[in-house]
Structure 1
Amino acid sequence: MYMTKILLATDGSEHSKRALEKAIKLAKKSEQTTVDMIYAVDGSKSKSDVLQYGDTDTANYQRLKKLKALGEPLREAGVEANYHIVHGEPAKAIIAFANERDYDMVVIGSRGRSEVQKFLLGSVSHKLVKYVHAPVVVVK
């Protein structure tokens, strides 16, 4: 499959790091592929970040700085990357972002919840598989 645009959803977890590794492997299949990394900030995290950093601009700067640090392996692998911070409930925010753009694939890590937890709570990866218009790869 020829791809030029991959969206990588991340939260900094170990599952996300494995998803990053997969996105790099996929991106390296073509020199023209770009990976967009996205991190969704929900309301409670947004408030705690602002309290920690003192203001919204500093909180946003620190989030972007952390996201770029997480994406450092992309740069090291020679993969072009863009970084995006979105606000809102993570699944909804990532789905909206992905569907507004023309991605060839979305890559996300799996949290590894049990079947009961998935049934009761749902999961971001499950919701992306269900509602994103592009193919979604869930990495365990």
Structure 2
Amino acid sequence: MYKRILVAVDGSDIAQKAVKHAAEIALKFESAVTLLHVVSPLPAAIRNSVFEQKLIDEIMKDGLQTLDKAKSDIIEFNVQADTEMKVGDPSTEICMKAKDEQYDLIVIGSRGLGALSGFIMGSVSRRVVRHAPCPVLVVR
């Protein structure tokens, strides 16, 4: 049923729970799993500043660590996973990847690291549920 599963990860505890749920589903359905971390673009005020490249390097380093942690969590379940990092609006990038690569299921945490901004602007998970081309499992 679910042959291709896309899991959104951001380093939060809820995202870790989502990874574990995805691993359990992948075991049952012998699914391929992709762990996706999306980095939001830098604010305009920081772009073209002397700090821009250093900040980008730190953000990318943190993103790779987030993906490595998620991958180690999923390997505990004997599930292999690919990893990918993108820069852009998280909900847009998640939905585009799911559509372009024909994923059968998206697994995402209900609240990520940006709980305050999620409250103000609407959460990523809510936008993914609204616009996803496939079923979405929101983990709480």
2:73, 2:93 → 1: CA distance? 25
Q: CA deviation at 1:27?
A: 0.7
Query: Does the C-alpha gap of structure 1 residues 34 and 50 become closer, same or farther in structure 2, counting only changes over 3 Å?
Result: farther
Aligned partners of 1:81 and 1:49: how far apart in 2?
Answer: 31
Distance in 2 of aligned mates of 1:49 and 1:138:
34
Instruction: Establish whether residue 10 from structure 1 lines up as the match of residue 9 from structure 2.
Output: yes
Instruction: Report the TM-score when normalising by structure 1.
Output: 0.80
- 1:34-73 to 2 correspondences below 5 Å: 34-44=32-42, 50-52=53-55, 60=60, 63-73=63-73
Corresponding pairs, count:
132
Show the counterpart of 1:21: 20
Q: Distance in 2 between matches of 1:21 and 1:88?
A: 25
* CA displacement at 1:50 relative to structure 2: 3.7
Change (3 A) 1:59 1:123: closer
Per-residue CA distance 1:116-139 (angstroms, 9 max, x = gap): x3xx52110011111111100101
Gaps of 5+ in 1: none
Does the CA-based 8 Å contact 2:35-2:70 persist in structure 1? no
Q: Secondary structure at the match of 1:44?
A: coil
Q: Indicate conservation of the 8 Å contact 2:107/2:137, yes or no.
A: yes
What percentage of aligned pairs have identical amino acids? 30
Q: Which letter does structure 1 place at the counterpart of 2:5?
A: I
Could you list the runs of 4 or more consecutive aligned residues of structure 1 that deviate by over 6 angstroms after TM superposition?
45-49
Please give the root-mean-square deviation of Cα atoms over the aligned residues, in Å.
2.9
TM-score normalised per structure 2: 0.80
Matched position secondary structure for 2:2? coil
